[in-house]
Amino acid sequence: MSQVFLYDTTLRDGTQREDISLSIEDKLAIARRLADFGFHYIEGGWPGSNPKDAEFFARAARLNFGAAKLTAFGSTRHKQTQCERDANLQALLDAATPAVTLVGKSWDYHVSQVLTTTPEENLAMIRESVAYMKSGGREVIFDAEHFFDGFLANSEFALATLEAAAGAGADWLVLCETNGGKLPWQVEEIVREVAQRIKTPLGVHCHNDSGCAVANSLAAVRGGCRQVQGTINGYGERVGNANLVTILADLQLKMDIPVVGPEKLHELTPLSRYVAEVVNLKFDDHAPYTGHSAFAHKGGIHVAAMLKASDTYQHIDPTLVGNEMRSVISELSGRGNILFRAQAMGIDLQREEAQRVLNHIKHLEHEGFTFEAAEASVELMLHRLRPDYAHPFELIDFFVITERRQSRGLLSEATVKVKVAGETKFTAAEGNGPVNALATALQDALIGAYPILQTVRLTDYKVRILDGATGTAAATRVLIDFQSGGETWTTVGASPNIIEASWRALSDSMEYALVRLGGGKGPAGGATANKELVR
């Protein structure tokens, strides 16, 4: 099958999602990243609709996007208006992009009810607008809005809109599944019918309202489309657009259709996560191909099989898309999950030791711990099994108090006494809450011996009540996220006492930081290696 061209509209259609608002700098950064990756068309926005998009194109004109074609989006001319006097078309020309996309009506119902004009005028709007853009030296992509609904309602008129655009010189005719309600077999069948009648290259633009945007896009390719429009991570209005990340991987790895080079495909996961970061949305850990959980295995039977052959429970090698295989530890795990994790850490673990860790994890999860989201706690257990491992510090005691003072309001104070590097350290700290005070006091006690901890900061603190029926006596689970530079990790603690649960997670985080950032062993004079799994 011949090459398929990717047309990204994250910077326009993607920003129509309710939670997304991009600055010009954001849009330029994403556009450069998409160009570096190898996208063929990058739609920057609608220059005739708002000053921000107009300024984006003015600044983008001074940048080099390599082989990628920056594209400006707009509508066909207004009814009863000459192209030379149409402000929208003039803005498209002023954008000075090598390609423009014109959207026009292909459903006669929309022509009468939305445009409130005649079918003949609508066809003239399409024909004249395309010809005008071609006379300006632009590559023209015609987006036939609501095409599939229009085809089912009045196929001859829908096809006439395509013929009008093609006759005026359009380079691409894109069939838009605008309402997102069609199913894959409908899309493929209609595309095949269009391809038999229209010889201009076809594209497809799908929305995800019925959950079929990716499947519909692939079906359209099977039917004859050679351009696929969509957005990174499926961002878009209502429930979103076709996800180009998934589509790209499916085309190249499942359908053997060349899109980008293999070396670029390895960058797919970083690209997907980068865009999520820039648009300031939580990345979907369960996204196909690029999600953190896309190749995570929890069931013990699965992991046991994958230790023998990794393709037994994976549809592709995750490294092909820049992701990685993971083993998730929980009460549902088998010994293989532990062995897999130890192997990834470079620890030569015996089967009986793996069983001991697994039994301990199952016991702790019965008490309220959970390790699926706290991989650092599991790694720490495995490190503690090393014969040469020495705990970098040892708790002697801590004290936490919260009181209300008339002059200062609520105040929390914590004292911590630990043994570190053969010395007893006693520190006190205030905080805006008991956990904050405890974390500060512990960090202050350790920084003298471990200066690397100055780079560590707490980024998130989550509490879950495990049995609400017991009220304030309920067991509590605490998850704490820490960060140092580009490294992030999560530890867990559980107890009927929220302060004790927090201490378990806090102390594990500090110890894990020293293992991860400082070489994995305590200094001379640290606590002796007693192979405690949880302290």
Q: pLDDT tens across 193-203, in order?
A: 999 999 999 99
The whole-number average pLDDT for the span 35-44 is: 95
pLDDT value of residue 311: 61
Which pLDDT tens digit goes with each residue over 153-166? 999 999 999 999 99
pLDDT value of residue 208: 97
pLDDT value of residue 523: 39
Would you say residue 394 has pLDDT above 70?
Answer: yes
Would you say residue 483 has pLDDT above 90?
Answer: no
Eight-state DSSP code of residue 157: H
Question: Higher confidence at residue 66 or residue 524?
Answer: 66
pLDDT value of residue 435: 85
pLDDT value of residue 363: 60
The whole-number average pLDDT for the span 135-152 is: 96
Domain range 5-278, its CATH number among 2.60.40.1180, 3.50.50.60, 3.20.20.70, 3.40.50.620: 3.20.20.70
pLDDT value of residue 298: 59
Question: pLDDT band for position 9 (50/70/90)?
Answer: very high
CA dist list (Å): 109 to 112, 114, 161, 174, 186: 5, 8, 13, 19, 20
Relative orientation angle of helices 184-197 and 155-167, to the nearest 10 degrees: 50
- Residue 176 has phi, psi (to 5 degrees) of -100, 125
pLDDT value of residue 526: 41
Eight-state DSSP code of residue 477: E
Residues of the chain by 3-state class (helix, strand, coil), percent to 5: 45, 20, 35
Cα 288 from chain centre: 10
Show Cβ contacts of residue 402 under 8 Å, excluding neighbours closer than 6 positions: 410, 411, 412, 413, 433, 434
3-state secondary structure (DSSP) of residue 495: strand
CA dist list (Å): 486 to 454, 483, 489: 15, 7, 10
pLDDT value of residue 100: 97
d(CA 199, CA 202): 8
Minimal CA–CA distance to 321: which of 215, 248, 424? 248
* Dihedral of alpha carbons 480, 483, 486, 489, sign: negative
Domain extents in the chain: 5-278, 296-365, 394-518
Would you say residue 97 has pLDDT above 90?
Answer: yes
pLDDT value of residue 304: 55
Cα 7 from chain centre: 19
The residue written with tokens 């010889």 in the block is 199
d(CA 384, CA 386): 5
Question: Higher confidence at residue 188 or residue 512?
Answer: 188
pLDDT value of residue 13: 94
Minimal CA–CA distance to 385: which of 428, 421, 338, 418? 338
Which pLDDT tens digit goes with each residue over 300-311? 555 455 555 566
Q: Which of 9-13, 327-331, 433-437 has the lowest mean pLDDT?
A: 327-331
Question: Higher confidence at residue 49 or residue 45?
Answer: 45
Domain range 394-518, its CATH number among 3.40.50.300, 1.10.630.10, 3.30.160.270, 1.10.3720.10: 3.30.160.270
* 3-state DSSP of 285-336: CCCCCCCCCCCEECCHHHHHHHHHCHHHCCCCCHHHHCCCCEECCCCCCCHH
Q: Which of 40-44, 235-239, 490-494 has the lowest mean pLDDT?
A: 490-494
Phi-psi region of 82 (alpha: psi -120 to 50; beta: other; left: phi over 0): beta
DSSP H or E stretch at residue 491? strand 487-495
Eight-state DSSP code of residue 251: I
Would you say residue 532 has pLDDT above 80?
Answer: no
pLDDT value of residue 535: 45
Has this prediction a pTM greater than 0.75?
no
Which pLDDT tens digit goes with each residue over 365-374? 665 665 555 6
pLDDT value of residue 529: 38
Burial class (CB in 10 A: 0-12, 13-18, 19+), 239: middle
The residue written with tokens 């805006």 in the block is 432
pLDDT value of residue 402: 86
pLDDT value of residue 368: 60
Q: Residue 328 CB: number of other CB atoms within 10 A? A: 21
- For residue 525, the one-letter residue type is G
pLDDT value of residue 527: 42
DSSP per-residue letters across 69-123:
EEEEEEEPPPTT--GGG-HHHHHHHHTT-SEEEEEEE--HHHIIIII-S-HHHHH
Question: Higher confidence at residue 294 or residue 456?
Answer: 456
On average, the pLDDT of the chain sits at 84
Cα 530 from chain centre: 41
On whether the CB atoms of residues 289 and 30 are closer than 8 A, the answer is no
On whether the CB atoms of residues 174 and 143 are closer than 8 A, the answer is yes
Question: pLDDT band for position 98 (50/70/90)?
Answer: very high
